[in-house]
């Protein structure tokens, strides 16, 4: 794993930044930074896995050890990440306000990928 550089805020994290698991293996690149609907609170990142075209994984903020200028280091292995899947493959929420914060972030991430929002 290369030097990640100095720590940065999620607002400075750019698309295409390399993402590494906790052992230093490169998983892919940042596809999108996920925030709350107002854009103020960092919730996680969508990772486009390698080799491309790959698939999309979601790392919640508590699965991220460091946001660096030249890379993101996760505190978990690939297997602990959430795979983004079509809404039909997910359990529908009878009441969207009852979903937890991770599920809400996953729903927003999927909506972004599919262009629904």
Question: What CATH number does residue 36 fall under?
Answer: 2.30.30.240
39 vs 29: CA distance, rounded Å: 21
Q: How confident is the model at residue 116 (pLDDT cuts 50, 70, 90)?
A: low
Domain hosting residue 71, numbered range: 10-114
- Compute CA 30 distance to the chain's CA centroid, rounded to the nearest angstrom: 7
Residue 48 host element (H or E):
strand 42-49
* Bridge-based pairing state of the strands 71-74 and 18-20: parallel
pTM value is 0.73
**Tens-digit pLDDT profile for residues 18-59:** 999 999 999 999 999 998 888 788 999 999 998 877 899 999
Does residue 1 form part of some domain?
A: no
**Tens-digit pLDDT profile for residues 64-79:** 999 999 999 999 999 9
Does residue 4 form part of some domain?
A: no
**Average pLDDT for the chain:** 83
44 vs 92: CA distance, rounded Å: 22
Q: How many domains does the chain have?
A: 1
Give the mean model confidence (pLDDT) for residues 92-96: 50
Which two three-digit tokens encode residue 99?
């979903």
């Amino acid at each position: 794993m290369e030097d990640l550089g100095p720590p940065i805020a999620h607002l400075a994290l750019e698309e295409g930044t390399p993402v590494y698991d906790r052992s230093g293996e490169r998983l892919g690149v940042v596809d999108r930074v996920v925030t709350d609907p107002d854009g103020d609170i960092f919730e996680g990142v969508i990772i486009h896995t390698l080799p491309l075209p790959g698939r999309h994984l979601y790392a919640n903020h508590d699965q991220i050890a460091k946001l660096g200028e030249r890379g993101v280091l996760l505190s978990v292995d690939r297997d602990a990440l959430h795979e983004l899947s079509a809404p039909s493959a997910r359990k529908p929420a009878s009441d969207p306000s009852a979903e937890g914060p991770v599920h809400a972030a996953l729903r927003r991430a999927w909506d972004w990928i599919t262009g629904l929002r």
